[in-house]
Amino acid sequence: MTAIERLTEPAFTVGESPVWRAEESALYFVDIPAGKILRLDPATGRLDAWSAPEPVGCIAFASNGTLIAGMQTGVFSLELAADGTVAKARLGTPGFALPNMRFNDGRCDRQGRFWAGTMHNDMAAAHAVGGLFRYASPGGLTGPVVGGLVVQNGLAFSPAGDRMYLSDSHPSVRQVWCLDYDIDSGMPTNRRPFIDMNAHPGRPDGAAVDEDGCYWTCANDGGCVLRFTPEGLLDRRIDLPVKKPAMCAFGGPGLDTLFITSIRPADPAALESQPWAGAVFAARPGVKGLLETPFASPA
């Protein structure tokens, strides 16, 4: 059994996109529908928040210290002000297939290109109109490089950067794929099945890769985080006191802490058995992760 530590109050509707900022010894993450970007100091428990002008799906740090984010209407460069506000500059706008779409899960590849996927906000409608986009400088926003997704999720890269992982967490899909990744061109090819989550608890939500190349996925609705070897074999399970873990990330001074965000359901009855849903948790799984590569900012 792996001990689970609760780091925050259950205050977040959809906690997502945790990113460890080693320069600050702090964890950044977002609350998507609230349009909040948050910074947690695990050593002191201090929590800072910034209010963005629209929902924020995912964030990554740029090499110049600013943020790049996939948001409701596009990809933006963000600066966090001391007064809790966010200044944004649009970098690119995708060709959304339908109204009421937004960016969801994303991160940088090992070379510093930013990747993020889109989805329709009405999950019940199961519109397979989401796609995976790449933003690079130079090059701008391109895509969809991968299309036909309902709820894009689970984006991660192998330690060498030559393999991309991608999932669709919609209940009707519940699949994780791996793709060969050309580190020079930034193009994925040869998409193939990696994990059929219909054989495991939950749906494959946000993910992380450890230094051994193993893939950790948050089993949304399954109340756990699962670790799969590069061959796709399940070899570790961490049970959580919440049903909807959303995304995980390695951090801490030794990169040996697994931070896990979660989702707080709107139905009060659904909270009776999981009062801490919506909090951020930490575990020590006995393995180390990798630092995220910052976005390569233009000169």
Calpha distance 129→6 (Å, rounded): 36
Position 290 in a domain: no
Asked about 31 being catalytic, the answer comes back as no
According to the model, what pLDDT value does residue 2 have? 80
Position 289 in a domain: no
The boundaries of the domain holding residue 105 are 4-283
For residues 40-64, average pLDDT: 97
Position 211 in a domain: yes
Position 88 in a domain: yes
pLDDT in tens, 267-293: 999 899 999 999 999 999 999 999 999
Strand order through the sheet with 47-51 = 15-21, 26-31, 36-40, 47-51
According to the model, what pLDDT value does residue 299 have? 38
Q: How confident is the model at residue 1 (pLDDT cuts 50, 70, 90)?
A: low
271: helix, strand or coil: helix
| C-alpha closest to that of 276 among 57, 64, 8, 62 | 8
According to the model, what pLDDT value does residue 22 have? 97
Catalytic residue among 31, 109, 168, 205: 205
Position 85 in a domain: yes
Position 293 in a domain: no
- CATH number, domain of 95, equals 2.120.10.30
Are residues 177 and 156 in contact, defined by beta-carbon separation less than 8 angstroms? no
Position 297 in a domain: no
- In a 13 Å sphere around the CA of 210, the CA atoms on its Cβ side amount to 22
Beta bridge partners of 38: 29, 49
Is residue 298's pLDDT more than 90? no
| C-alpha closest to that of 218 among 231, 208, 210 | 208
According to the model, what pLDDT value does residue 297 have? 65
pLDDT in tens, 128-180: 999 999 999 888 999 999 999 999 999 999 999 999 999 999 999 999 999 99
One-letter amino acid for residue 234 of the chain: L
Calpha distance 57→69 (Å, rounded): 7
* Higher-scoring residue by pLDDT: 64, 218: 218
For residues 36-54, average pLDDT: 97
Q: pTM higher than 0.75 for the full model?
A: yes
According to the model, what pLDDT value does residue 138 have? 86
* Signed CA dihedral, 150, 153, 154, 160: sign only: positive
Q: Percent of the chain, pLDDT > 70?
A: 99
Is it true that the peptide bond before 144 is cis, omega within 30 degrees of 0? yes
pLDDT in tens, 243-262: 999 999 999 999 999 999 99
Q: How many domains does the chain have?
A: 1
Position 294 in a domain: no
Beta bridge partners of 157: 164
Query: What is the token pair recorded at 271?
Result: 């909270």
Q: pLDDT averaged over the chain?
A: 96
